[in-house]
Structure 1
């Protein structure tokens, strides 16, 4: 009987693990090897799917250019880079404002502000849209469209001035 050295035994274990993974119909023969050598499961942890939501309440469209607040909350896989692009469109679908929220600069939940100018943004119904982009640096970028939110930006309510007839006293 011929004595085998440690390198030959290791190659034999690797070959058996690879062959076992292929014969079992596994798509990841190396995973079978790692499971065998590490003694643990090779089943990947549950993956987090990118998702999110936007919120914005009805507001009054103020004179000039003003900031209008909206909320966001997203869930992304740990370690992924991400950005959330938001757009506020009018009833015709024309973008009236936009914002970008970035990983590394912004939290995954928060409140942001979008600037709108009343002369170019007529009062009425608007829709807040959001698109979330995530990347793990290896696979293609994932695009997730968030559910749109419809809001009303109303004209300021001005109290009508009541003109009272004043009986002016005649001065002599």
Structure 2
């Protein structure tokens, strides 16, 4: 797989309970069709509590959550104190503008794991508990439609296509989907 873009894993996280933040781990195991082994959001069917209440038979398009470390750097330079995993992500990345990637982008993480991006994570109101004013920093203007709704930038969601062990410093190679590129929306 020749990459269109290259980045890296900064840190990995999981929580076996439905907590907002996730604990940093030495490594996580991605399981094809399910997500992160041992994480509360693992499964073929939706696991997010509000989505389960609406329809427990929906496919789980949110098996894995990725956030770019550059967002954490930005909010911390504005006076916040947010650490990797605190926004609920499974993988904190570096060197990739995740929210600009199109739907269906394939991320080869480490030697074997493969993740297909399904959409943007909507900034959750629980972000307010992390710091005053932080929620406002989680939105940016849409460059193509500055008068339209703002775009959330609390990371991207995906499904695991091929499993593997993922750890900090693993490389991430990104392949864009064939055909016309479609920007990600909330999933």
TM-score, with structure 2 as normaliser? 0.21
- The structure in which a higher percent of residues are strand is 1
TM-score, with structure 1 as normaliser? 0.22
Bigger RCO (CA 8 Å, 6+ sep): 2
